[in-house]
Structure 1
Amino acid sequence: MGETNTAAVIANELAVIMASIATLGVVGGWIAEKLKLPDVVVFLVFGVAFGPTFFNIINIEDYPIVNETILTFGSAFILYEGGKEIKLKVLNEVKVSVGLLASLGVFLTTVIIGFITYYVFKLPIGPSLLLGATISSTDPAALIPVFNKISIKNRLKQTVISESAFNDAFGAILFTAILTAVTMTEKVGLLSTTLQLVLMIVIGLLVGMGISLIGIGLSSDKRYGILHGYAPIISIVIVVFAYEISKRFGGSGYMSVFIAGLTYGNKKRFKLWVPDEDYIAGVHFRENIATIARMAIFIVLGTHLNIDSLIKHGVGSIIVVLVLMFIARPIVVLVCTSFDRKAKWSKNEKLFMMWVRETGVIPAALSGIIVSAKVPGYEIISSTVFMTIITTLLVQASTTNMVAKKLDVLEK
């Protein structure tokens, strides 16, 4: 009887916490709209204010399974949505730039930030590189709403969005590899780590495409599309199965869901189509799920933040952010675009790509995983990720329109 009562109390507390997160998310979104701020900034502030640091209304750390579910599923679904935004026809024109920015660019950023972190905070090289991998990717969830309001040249717009979606996947894979190396008690060789990384990518690609094609086929207007009336729900099923099956076969769950989204967004190339009514219902359904995921991830991240740690490591965190914005990003763009002679990027287009690199959902979720795992130096990593998200969103996202006009990269 005691166990039943305890379970009921825990269930009630969890229900209150989830309802509180939803309420704070809705109110935070409304405030952000009125103040013309990126909503994720308000979500983060609300997480800090209503977490254990101040009012202690939301304390998700007592429920590690729920915490892990929010961070893992939320980031996976947002990656899936990011993959859906990419159009292969446009991507084909700039595939060299996008491929290098999303892979070599992530690696270069990780190394540069890793060494700066090593010297600034005196962290071991493993956790330092882990911080670099965490903030190496940009955020399609932050970029897409901004670009929807600004008429950026289509090729440039698709390149930045494609890079953002791809580097989220590569960043998550690199993060997983480094986290595994940091948390394992036995030493792992470079060759072994490299092979594991390649295997994770390949399995993620195959599983993501396979699961997505099955889901699209069953919800399509074809003869075998027997579940087309449930197309919105099948999106959730695709994300869950793509992530879990890939993980169980040793692949990257993040790569898998991203490829699943990419396949879904380009289903016409596979001669598949979802009936208009079901397609529209699916769009609204996925938008709501993605919005809830963003709210939950950033509010939960805010609850993890230790204010004393943020104050203590604030100066070092700002140094890392400035290096990321004004040294690492320009180097990445210059190196990666120099190999793509076919694209013929202008100087202004390169400058625009250097400026637009908002940090957001995936780094937030990965930071939450680091805190949950209590990786050495997790308080420093959490504070720096928080500072990176706040700074890049407030400074870069809010000035994108002004910079685009100044650089003359708007559609005529």
Structure 2
Amino acid sequence: MFLIDQLILLSSALILIGILSSKLSARLGLPMLVLFLMVGMLAGEEGLGRIVFDSPEIAHAIGTLALALILFDGGLQTPLASIKRVWKPASVLATLGVVFTAVVTGAAASVILPITLMEGLLLGAIVGSTDAAAVFSLLRNAGINLNNRVKATLEIESASNDPMAIFLTIALLEVILNEAEIGLGLLLFFVLQMGGGAMGGLIAGYFTVRLINKINLQATGLYPVLVTAAGLLSYGIATYFGGSGFLAIFICGVMIGNKRFVFQRTTFLFHDGLAWLSQITMFVMLGLLINPSSLLDVWLEGLVIGAILLFVARPLAVIPILKIFGFNLREITLMSWVGLRGSVPIILAIFPLLFGLPGAELIFNAVFFVVLISSTLQGSTLPFVARKLGLIERTPAKAAAVLEITALGQVDGEIVEYTLSENSRAVKRRLARMALPEGAVVAMISRGAKIIPPRGSTILEAKDHLFVVLKDDYKEMVEQVFSEKGFRSSKLPAHWRLKGASTLADIEWCYELLINKGINKHFTLDELAREQLGSDFAEFAEFTVGDVLFRVEEIVGNRAVTVIVMPSILLDNA
């Protein structure tokens, strides 16, 4: 076998084992990243696999690429509304919080380990940031639902504090190795890192959305690839001009993910899988890099440093900041505990090895042990702590599962597949009662191995797959119709173009719209228009019922076949 053949065999086998090991996560109560690290350690030189991997350069390169893709996926899935809600506390935690954590942990490390104060501060800077990959993975796969403010703060903090940790690590290495002075030069470097990263992400994200909505690619599979390339380009441009690539690619992801573009759902699914592949590859590789026997040399010191980080440094950094921004004691307690360390500290711990710092191996081993302690203890106890603090909320209703099948060439339309969940508002209702927008047509229904011709009398069932031909403008409305009960789309258009045969009761059910309690809900829009307008019944005639404005858009014969509904208030489950 050629070397590349062996690498393909080994890498695919390790990735497959990593995927299968994720099934043990829930049973063992361990975060998946810990299991992925253990797979790497077991496959390593001192494990069962006897695979020799001792290249910090390769580990740094692969780890950086993987982390960039994970942050990009995190940005794509982060609503802009969440950032607006918590950007102030998250940004302070990501900067001052990291500095304070690094100083406290580093000062303790210089006493516990045989290293200087500056080397201790370097270790503190390396473990000072929470890890985006660990936090994203834990919060989205722990089977619990935290309130939006706490969850958003943790995710945005973890995604945005890496630049500060990188800045502190590089700055301290400059001070230790090159005797650089702490002053204006380091301040300018910090401004360049943050400002360059933010500008790179904003510019790349803006132009990517404009490009993807104008370009017409023949192969639909190229759209997710185009988005990936744009994200990596933002990383590369930012780092080329001295900015933070990690901050740039996260902001680029947020910019793209919060705009409408073609094949958006498909792109999100692609990057979700790519992020998982990156996590598995990165953690397994980092597990290969460490020799378990070397951890035994620092286990006691690492345990003490980890305890100081978890029980002293993180709480002292978090409590005053969150108190200022109005978080209550229970929320502060949880966020003090959920400060997981993951791949970023291990990748940063490779820097001293790359720069040839004396004692770099000791620092690397200590950091690795601290990460294991943090991930295992904090990750495995998150559900228990959140439950004890009473911060677990009911899982919100979900949107319908959507798969964009194809765009119809230059035509303003697509064929989209919707999968009905057990709790979908469409289940056990006739298709005719789903108040679909005018122009959206259910072309086919598949139920198990059967194909069901769609008719108005067809009763929809859970797990049905509905193939709908629709205009791009109707996506949010159709998604709302087939989503779970209680789900409210925040992206519904201001004007709803509905069929005149839709009843008010069906419209209320599908869109959670309060029309007027005094109106006969069995009226169709056509009947309502003729009753309200009387002799003024004509095309483009308008009338108001409660807080909803109606406009007759099209009349055929003496019937309103299309009515525009302009709601201003959503049903409040009253």
TM-score under structure 2 length normalisation: 0.63
Higher helix share: 1
Report the equivalent of 1:29: 22
User: Conserved in 2, the CA contact under 8 Å of 1:169 and 1:258?
Assistant: no
Report the equivalent of 2:261: 274
Report the equivalent of 2:215: 225
Any idea what the Cα deviations from partners look like across 1:299-335, whole Å, max 9, x if unmatched? Answer: 1211221333211111110111000111011111122
- For residues 65-76 of structure 1, what are the structure 2 equivalents within 5 Å? 66-76=58-68
Report the equivalent of 1:270: none
Which amino acid letter does the alignment assign opposite residue 267 of structure 2?
G
Note closer, same or farther for the CA distance 1:74–1:178 as it changes in structure 2 (3 Å cut): farther
Distance 1:163 1:189 in 2: 26
Report the equivalent of 2:230: 238
Which amino acid letter does the alignment assign opposite residue 103 of structure 1?
T
- Listed as ranges, the gaps of 5+ residues in structure 2 are 395-574
Which amino acid letter does the alignment assign opposite residue 274 of structure 1?
F
Report the equivalent of 1:198: 191
- Listed as ranges, the gaps of 5+ residues in structure 1 are 1-7, 268-272
Post-superposition offset of 1:74: 0.7
Report the equivalent of 1:154: 148
Query: Alignment partner for residue 80 of structure 1, among 59, 72, 82?
Result: 72
| Pairing 1:405–2:387 present | yes
Report the equivalent of 2:563: none
Distance 1:96 1:319 in 2: 32
Query: Alignment partner for residue 256 of structure 1, among 239, 248, 251?
Result: 248
Q: Could you say what secondary structure the match of 1:60 adopts?
A: coil
Report the equivalent of 2:4: 11
Which amino acid letter does the alignment assign opposite residue 171 of structure 2?
A
Query: Alignment partner for residue 178 of structure 1, among 169, 172, 187?
Result: 172
Worse-matched range after superposition: 249-258 or 11-20: 11-20
Note closer, same or farther for the CA distance 1:380–1:153 as it changes in structure 2 (3 Å cut): same
Post-superposition offset of 1:103: 0.8
Distance 1:410 1:36 in 2: 17
TM-score under structure 1 length normalisation: 0.86
Any idea what the Cα deviations from partners look like across 1:251-276, whole Å, max 9, x if unmatched? Answer: 22222212212222333xxxxx112x
Computing the radius of gyration from Cα coordinates, the structure with the larger value is 2
Distance 1:320 1:247 in 2: 32
| Pairing 1:207–2:208 present | no
| Pairing 1:39–2:32 present | yes
Query: Alignment partner for residue 380 of structure 1, among 359, 362, 367?
Result: 362
Which amino acid letter does the alignment assign opposite residue 393 of structure 1?
S
Worse-matched range after superposition: 224-233 or 105-114: 224-233
Distance 1:410 1:27 in 2: 28
Q: Could you say what secondary structure the match of 1:409 adopts?
A: coil
Post-superposition offset of 1:116: 1.0
Report the equivalent of 1:4: none
Post-superposition offset of 1:219: 1.8
Q: Could you say what secondary structure the match of 2:54 adopts?
A: helix
Which amino acid letter does the alignment assign opposite residue 225 of structure 1?
I
Q: Could you say what secondary structure the match of 2:23 adopts?
A: helix
Distance 2:216 2:94 in 1: 37
Query: Alignment partner for residue 339 of structure 2, among 357, 377, 388?
Result: 357
Note closer, same or farther for the CA distance 1:20–1:371 as it changes in structure 2 (3 Å cut): farther
Report the equivalent of 1:322: 307
User: Conserved in 2, the CA contact under 8 Å of 1:52 and 1:303?
Assistant: yes
User: Conserved in 2, the CA contact under 8 Å of 1:134 and 1:366?
Assistant: yes
Any idea what the Cα deviations from partners look like across 1:270-308, whole Å, max 9, x if unmatched? Answer: xxx112xx2222122112211121112111211221333
Post-superposition offset of 1:370: 4.2
Report the equivalent of 2:286: 301
Post-superposition offset of 1:369: 4.3
Between the two proteins, what is the percent identity of the paired residues? 28
Q: Could you say what secondary structure the match of 1:219 adopts?
A: helix
Higher strand share: 2
Report the equivalent of 1:3: none
Report the RMSD for the aligned CA atoms in angstroms: 2.4
